[in-house]
Amino acid sequence: MKNALKSLYPAAEVLNSGFLSTNSVHRVYWESCGNPNGKPVVFVHGGPGGGTSAQTRQFFNPDQYHIIQFDQRGCGQSTPHANLENNTTWDLIADMEAIRELLNIEQWQVFGGSWGSTLALAYAEKHPERVSELVLRGIFLLRQQELQWFYQEGASRIFPDAWQAYLQHIPEDERHDLMSAYQKRLLSDNEQVRLAAAERWSVWEGSTCHLYPDLKHIEDTADPEFALAFARIENHYFMNRGFFTHENQLLDEIDCIRHIPTVIIQGRYDVVCPMQTAYDLKAVFPEAELIVVPDAGHSAFEPAIASELVKATDRFAIE
């Protein structure tokens, strides 16, 4: 008999929120909810450019956790919208530290999936003393092979129908480098050109996130405001290889976080961030616990993945 799945918690009401002023044009939205005296956890959203929501608070027991969320530069409620200026991995890590200090938090659990796992690892390796645990899902290390898989070849063989709209938006003579072709359009001075490219980029990812396609999610990813920030910021980070110094930086710097209790949750049929990447992380980080979910794709909200994430946060809440 299968173990019963754990349900998400009700979305806690926001207790406090504000905008962090940075040393550039950006104002970063943050919020806190749950138990102000509970265990601090920071939710690191995906994309980059995805933003947070009430739903993303639901992985944590609001009676036990002090839940902090923030919208990374240029997306969600942060301003200016879809702005790429001073928008790098290291700027986001500095924002996380500024929020932690603003809220007088000494140490927090860091929870992130997809790009959120990338940023969570980068933050932990930069500030290991500030991380009590890591809960990671759908591992993405921003290596060339991962980008090629999803944006140039590989994933198209599993979702050839969804791929067509993404591919056919680009003329044949530019299809040898689709990320560069999209960058040109996402940075265009013409608003309609930017929006059309953003919609194709965003819907491609939205169409591949679930084991069983979620039509509502696909529709949401086509929303022009969401798609523009999501596509522009993702493309910006991916074209700049995450602003890392070298290809395997996150793997090469694992030594400094070996002591941090870590759970990795990975859908077996994740097409966006295939399991090979989680396997590569586990190979250099054997101290981490890898949980492979046999009946799931990429989304954190697929029932079996959500259940494992809640089990992890429940366990860490009392440790």
* Residue 283, token pair as written in the block: 């190979």
Is 14-143+243-317 in CATH node 3.40.50.1820?
Answer: yes
β-bridge mates for residue 264, sequence order: 136, 290
- Residue 318's pLDDT band, with cuts at 50, 70 and 90, is confident
pLDDT (0 to 100) of residue 2: 55
pLDDT surpassing 70 at residue 319: yes
Q: Report the percent of the chain where pLDDT is more than 70.
A: 99
201 confidence band (pLDDT: 50, 70, 90): very high
What CA–CA distance (Å, rounded) separates 63 from 301?
Answer: 21
Element (H, E) at 253: none
For residue 68, list its beta bridge partners.
32, 42
| Residue whose C-alpha is closest to residue 196's, from 218, 215, 169, 173 | 169
Average pLDDT of the residues in 99-117: 98
pLDDT, residue 1, reads 38
Q: Where are the domains of the chain?
A: 14-143+243-317, 145-241
Average pLDDT (94-106) is: 98
- Which of helix, strand or coil describes residue 28? strand
Task: Identify the band that residue 69 occupies on the pLDDT scale cut at 50, 70 and 90.
Answer: very high
Mean pLDDT, the chain, integer:
97
Q: Enter the tokens of residue 266.
A: 């990975």
Is residue 52 within 8 A of residue 33, CB to CB? The reply is no
pLDDT per position as a tens digit, 2-36: 578 999 999 999 999 999 999 899 999 999 999 99
**Above 50 in pLDDT, residue 278?**
yes
Q: Give the model confidence (pLDDT) of 209-246 as tens digits.
A: 999 989 999 999 999 999 999 999 999 999 999 999 99
What are the tokens at 185?
């359009």
Strand order in the sheet with 27-34: 14-21, 27-34, 65-70, 39-44, 108-113, 131-137, 262-267, 289-293
Flag whether pLDDT at 303 surpasses 50.
yes
Q: Mean per-residue pLDDT for 40-68?
A: 98
Residue 73: its pLDDT value, please? 98
Q: How many CA atoms lie within 13 A of 13 on its CB side?
A: 1
Average pLDDT over every residue of 145-165:
97
In tens, the pLDDT along 114-154 reads 999 999 999 999 999 999 999 999 999 999 999 999 999 99
Closest CA to 299 of 208, 235, 191: 208
Half-sphere exposure of 123 (CA within 13 A, CB side): 31
Q: What is the dihedral of CA 229, 232, 236, 238, to 10 degrees?
A: 90
Catalytic residue IDs:
114, 270, 298
Q: Quick check: pTM over 0.75?
A: yes
